[in-house]
A = this chain, B = another copy of it.
Amino acid sequence: MKTKIQGNYVVAGQEAVSALYQSGYFGRPKDGVLYLRFVEAAYLLYRNKIEIFKDKTLLDFDAFLKFAALKEDFFELKYIVYKDLKERGYYIQSAATDFRIYPRGGSPGKTSAKSFVFVQSERIDLPFGTLIQHLNNTENVRKQFILALVDEESDITFFEIKRVDVNNSFTGKMSYSVPDLTKADNAAAVAAAAGPIPAILLKERVVMDNKAVSEILYNNAFFGKMLDEDRLQLSLVEALYLMEQNVIDVMDLNSEKMTPDTFAEHASAIEPEFMKKYTVYKDLKERSFVPKTGFKFGTHFRIYQKVESLDKIPHSEFLLHVISPDHQFKMPVTSGAIRLANSVHKRMIYAADTGRKIEYIEFERIKM
């Protein structure tokens, strides 16, 4: 079947409407002819379904590949993904975000599209703002958002990206954020009644030497880590949270009592991203989670839904990394993080405080 290049399309005659559109949903029929996108045309050319003429010249596959690569940004990436999806048996149509694909067994007209596929090179950073825009667009029309990442060797990794359901699957199950010390054993109750427990800020961590309270905070809410039998070490985020809850009073090395503000300033000097992390830590506590450091996994937090006793620490279901709203996802780093989460059976969440709310976004590797 003869077709010709016309602007950004390859145009096929009326017979293509039944042969290509009605049987395979290639292209878009208009005014009695069929408009094919370059990726569709390349695929049909590869399959020997069409011949493509540029002016009067017949182009072979390589000539058309070069032509399309010059004319369309990232043509090669789109073709690699389009061909892969076609060979997996999907019906595909062009969309604002590269492709719209139909569920297995479905097709245009019969069913509505299931997913929007966004094609990207591993070499290009993905700005968080762009991600949110795409996410809003796909969520508005209730589609699944799929990122198809093409690596330097042309392998494709598919990620489903979605907001986590903060009312449902992403909720903690702790019945308290801080154990009620007055209901605890006698020594702790006495200490609690006397007001906040004193603690010392060393360089990077806070140490409290009240054995009774330390044990309750550690054993019943997984705060900090015991330094020895008597003393609890708290991380900076944990310490600020307990200060704000009036559980501890933090003294500096000169025995001066710190306010939450002076503490936050000190912590920010040690760790420039402290406040960004703390905002999310606090939100997670308010969502009844138990956030602990994710250092071993290269993320800010690993998150437990519930730890009310250290005798039965459950699996931590989530890894969470806090990012800024101006974050640019570096794809190799992101890919590694998701792969690690996967291999330790956790879900990978990115959190960003946009000022209006904290966005919790999940990246999941999927097989198409």
Binding site for B on A (CB under 8 A): 46, 61-62, 65-66, 69-70, 74-77, 80, 83, 121-123, 151-155, 157, 200, 202-205, 207, 209, 224-225, 227-228, 233, 235-238, 253, 255, 270-271, 292-293, 295-300, 331-337, 339-340, 343-344
Contact = CB atoms under 8 A, between A and B. Distances in A.
Given A69-B253, A76-B205, A227-B80, A235 B152 contact: yes
Contact of A227 (B154, B224, B336, B344): B154
Contact of A154 (B225, B253, B299): B225
A143 to B, nearest CB: 26
Contacts of A122: 295
Contacts of A233: 80, 153-154
Given A69-B253, A296-B157, A297-B336, A205 B152 contact: yes
A270 B123 contact: yes
Contact of A295 (B151, B207, B293, B343): B151
Given A153-B293, A155-B225, A298 B336 contact: yes
Contacts of A299: 332, 336
Given A62-B209, A76-B204, A151-B295, 8 more contacts: A61-B209, A66-B253, A69-B203, A154-B224, A155-B295, A295-B335, A300-B332, A343-B344
Given A76-B205, A152-B235, A65 B295 contact: no
A202 B76 contact: yes
Contact of A235 (B61, B65, B83, B153): B153
Contacts of A76: 202-205, 207
Contacts of A151: 293, 295-296
Contacts of A237: 152
Query: Considering residues A253, A332, A336, which has the most beta carbons from chain B within 10 angstroms of its beta carbon?
Result: A336
Given A74-B203, A204-B121, A271-B123, A339 B152 contact: no
